Amino acid sequence: MGAARFDVPEVDAFTRTYWDAAAEGRLLIRRCGACGRAHHYPREFCPHCWSEEVIWEEASGRATLYTWSTVHRNDLPPFGDRTPYVAAVVDLAEGPRMMTELVECRDMVAGMPLRVTFREGKPVFGPGG
């Protein structure tokens, strides 16, 4: 039996749509039909107005950098082999804020334009807009 990995999502019946889209290179968010606001991470209800009238929507993939931290040590597999890496929070063009990892970025500046890319079926962000 292989070592436990802490970077593999636990897919369930509700999140399968999200992870299947990510495996195809598409980033999905949820949008509320009652208040119109988008949110991420996927939930079965709107965190803004509590309506259950939410649908999946493909995001543009554009974002801006909100904050970041370079991680030099992480003992959880497989992160230790990836250090240093940049953990970040980005503001998606559609409004929601999302935790992610930055790739191929140097000289980070808050507000810099980013674009989603996918690594092993998981969304990460790199330079672009």
Tell me: cis bond preceding 41? Omega within 30 of 0 counts. yes
State the Cα–Cα distance between residues 13 and 79, nearest whole angstrom: 27
Residue with tokens 């998606």: 92
Domains and CATH numbers, the chain: 15-127 (2.40.50.840)
| Length of the chain (residues) | 129
> Over the stretch 22-71, which tens digit does the pLDDT of each residue have?
999 999 999 999 999 999 999 999 999 999 999 999 999 999 999 999 99
For residue 72, how many C-alpha atoms fall within 13 Å in the half-sphere facing its CB? 0
pLDDT band at 8 (very low <50, low <70, confident <90, very high): confident
pLDDT at res. 3: 65
Tell me the average pLDDT of the chain.
Answer: 93
Select the more confidently predicted residue: 80 or 22.
Answer: 22
pLDDT of 80 > 90? The answer is no
pLDDT at 48: 97
pLDDT reported for residue 2 = 60
At 20, is the secondary structure helix, strand, or coil? helix
Per DSSP, the three-state class of 19 is helix
Q: Are 76 and 6 in contact (CB under 8 A)?
A: yes
Decide: pTM greater than 0.85.
Answer: yes
Q: Is the peptide bond before 42 cis (omega within 30 degrees of 0)?
A: no
Distance of CA 39 to the CA centre of its chain: 11
